[in-house]
Amino acid sequence: MTKIAASILSADFANLQHDCTRLLDEGVDLLHIDVMDGHFVPNISYGAPVLKCLHEALPDVYYDVHLMISDPARYAADFAKAGANLLTFHLEAVRDTAEEVIAAIRATGCQVGISIRPGTPVEAAFPYLGVVDLILVMSVEPGFGGQKFLPATPQRLAALDAERKRRGCTTLLEVDGGINTETGPLCVQAGADWLVAGNSLFRAQDPAAVVRQLHGQA
């Protein structure tokens, strides 16, 4: 079944634990942590201390950490220690040293993901199918929540899914940006295994209904 990751970027940070617990109780599978450095992307979010506090409050949750930063290897150990289960970095940030970053993340004990921006050809991720645990396809330009879903995304996911099947590997496909009850099913049909949703969950009047639809149960 498709897994739903709630992006805490859309949460009320004055009530972060409450907001996350509410969605987990409604059926969300994991929490997605967007880390921005103001350099790789033009925004700054939060760092390892926020993850550490959330992990201490909710220790049994799977933490999917998306590093939208210029030097992911430098901070991998900090986020692993804070409670990350999966660390995803951007291929565009480390084009010449991706293998070293993968090794650095593996050394922390975390699973590894790579992400590609909308303007990066999906073929750039093909060599990492079967090498990393997950490939995250951005369906908006990374840096800010609440953006509109880019319509080319399902086609990009389908190309990765076809190559994944051709290689016979089990690398997961995740999609993030503008995911809601209309765009989510399109991505699942194209091959997405994990859907990252922010505003459509945290600001929903009935988040349980959104979760059911994204899980394909409604």
Would you please indicate which residues are annotated as catalytic (active-site) residues?
34, 176
The span from the CA of 167 to the CA of 156, in Å, is: 17
**Nearest residue to 132 (alpha-carbon basis) of 93, 95, 86, 177:** 86
The span from the CA of 134 to the CA of 33, in Å, is: 15
The span from the CA of 57 to the CA of 180, in Å, is: 27
Cα three-residue angle 75-5-45, rounded to 5 degrees: 40
Per DSSP, 207 falls in state H
Bridge partners (DSSP) listed for residue 143: none
Alpha carbons within 13 angstroms on the beta-carbon side of residue 13 total 8
